Amino acid sequence: MSSHRREEVGSFPNSLNAYRAGRVRSLTQLGRRRGDESQSLSAFTREVRDSLRRLPLFPGLPALLLVLLISGCATPQSGPTWHLTGDALIDGQTAISNCPPRDKVLWQERTALVAMRRGDYPLAKELLDDVIRRLGGIYGTDADAKRARSYFSAESRVPATHPLRMIKTHADKVLKSMSRDFDELYARDGRPSIAPERLLKGSILIALYSLRGERMLCEMLDYNILFRWFLDMSLEEPTLDQSRFSRFRERLVASECAQRFFDAVVREARGQGLLSDEHFTVDGTLIEAWASMKSFKRKDRPPADPGSDGQGMVDFKGERRSNATHESSSDPQAKLMRKGPGKESKLSFGGHALMENRNGLCVDIRVTSAVEPEPRAAEAMIDRQRRAHVRPGTLGADKGYHTRAFVAYLRGKCIAPHIAMIKNRITPGLDKRTARHAGYAVSQNKRKRVEEIFGWMKTYGGLRKIMVRGIDRVQVQAWLVGAAYNLLRLSRLARVPG
């Protein structure tokens, strides 16, 4: 190929260059690439471009003609053996009928261009359609040829009944209402910022699809059309970088946007009439910290035996270890705690949820130190609800909340304590006079649904063993996972008639 031809071809888009490269390779394999072209490519290009400017072509044909043009116009290996009339269009049709099969595509391309110059569009379209069918055999199967020319949007590939559509609708509505709150999350310097809405929706995807973390999400964005559609990314847009999520998480910790996002989802549910202000349930659980028992060391001095295995294992047999004398070097805020008698102790945080009884939605979630009493965390969540003008009428809870101080707090707030009672414990404000009402039995039955929230957040949302350190970061992650759970519940409840 001459340098002049390389320069001419290089002026076209890369996609056409790739098409031409494959075409030339195929012609070479078939032994049809020759250097004795009957017409200069440069002059031929100008002639066709002028024709295209003058003629009203049918849609898509100009691009196709340019593709055919730069694909190379090699002449047959030998001169024609049929009678020539001097009319280019008639001679071209005669050549198509009489030339060897290997040269048919070349003559069809030339004849189609002549037909275009003369305004015979039906004939040109017929010839070019046949060229496209034949090119499928040159480059692969017909399906391969169609895929090479396919253009579609991610929206068209997501089924109308896909459950993520309803979740996206609710999420977009919530994020649109928070546009002013996101101004503080944009970086003041450095590279152009990614929209906080997109990063928040990415965090929702991580919780919904149980991804290991942001790095895995960024990898899947390269090939997962569903994820790109959910994040409003085009198919050509480059994937996100994991470092974006890391910096975004730090900005969430320094602000209150994660909490506002969770509250906005709750307001969305309330606006649809899915929440009541009467009956609630509270419960707590342990969230395992991202720290091993190897890091749990004495505060006052280093361990006497550094371990014989070289990995920091210490023989603490006979040594009494407690949160008062030891702490984790990986996460000092994680405390040693066990779920109950006979259970192993683990470095953990305390997780607390406030559930609305009607539809099982999580209206508040709080992360505390594992040693903080559950009733204290419940009081903080109820106070926050009251500041939002929510006045609970009843509160269901298990026996862990049966304390004199907590019952007195509820009575002081005019909240009926539907708490499971410890046998033989006398507590003013919680006795048989409370338990005899039918509403008490209903609350005790409904309160078990709060375990569904913890079960989903730990099994799917990644809160079984959190992969961030520090109470503030764990709290941000809990708000995001809680928002994902509520969005999922909203999508399911919207499908129920009435």
> DSSP letter string over 248-284?
HHHHHHHSSHHHHHHHHHHHHHHHTT---SSEEEEEE
Greater pLDDT, 395 or 78: 395
pLDDT of 95: 80
**Directed axis angle between helix 242-254 and helix 471-493, to 10°?**
100
Contact between residue 181 and residue 257 where contact means Cβ atoms under 8 Å apart: yes
Residue 373 confidence class, pLDDT cut points 50, 70, 90: very high
For the stretch 423-465, pLDDT in tens is: 888 889 898 888 888 989 999 999 899 999 999 999 999 999 9
What values do phi and psi take at 80, rounded to 5? -65, 145
pLDDT of 94: 82
Q: Measured in whole angstroms, how far is the alpha carbon of residue 111 from the centre of its chain? A: 50
**Structure tokens that stand for 274 in this block:** 């899915």
> Measured between alpha carbons, how far is 341 from 318 in angstroms, rounded to an integer?
20
Strands 335-337 and 346-356, by their bridges, are antiparallel
Cα end-to-end span (Å), the chain? 72
pLDDT of 81: 53
For the stretch 183-229, pLDDT in tens is: 766 666 666 667 888 889 999 999 999 998 889 999 999 999 999 99
Helix (H, G, I), strand (E, B) or coil at 137: helix
Q: Does the structural domain 274-291+330-473+484-493 have CATH classification 1.20.120?
A: no
pLDDT of 28: 37
> Measured between alpha carbons, how far is 140 from 442 in angstroms, rounded to an integer?
67
Q: Measured in whole angstroms, how far is the alpha carbon of residue 254 from the centre of its chain? A: 24
Residue 319 confidence class, pLDDT cut points 50, 70, 90: confident
Instruction: Write down the domain spans for the chain.
Output: 3-148, 155-255, 274-291+330-473+484-493
In 3D space, the residue among 278, 266, 273, 270 whose CA is nearest the CA of residue 418 turns out to be: 278
> Measured between alpha carbons, how far is 285 from 466 in angstroms, rounded to an integer?
13
pLDDT of 136: 54
In 3D space, the residue among 355, 340, 361 whose CA is nearest the CA of residue 443 turns out to be: 355
Over 80: is that where the pLDDT of 34 sits? no
- Which neighbouring-strand residues pair with 288? 348, 465
For the stretch 236-289, pLDDT in tens is: 888 888 888 888 888 888 888 899 999 999 999 999 989 988 899 999 999 999
Q: What is the pTM of this model?
A: 0.68
Torsion sign, CA atoms 104, 109, 114, 119: positive
What is the overall mean pLDDT for the chain? 77
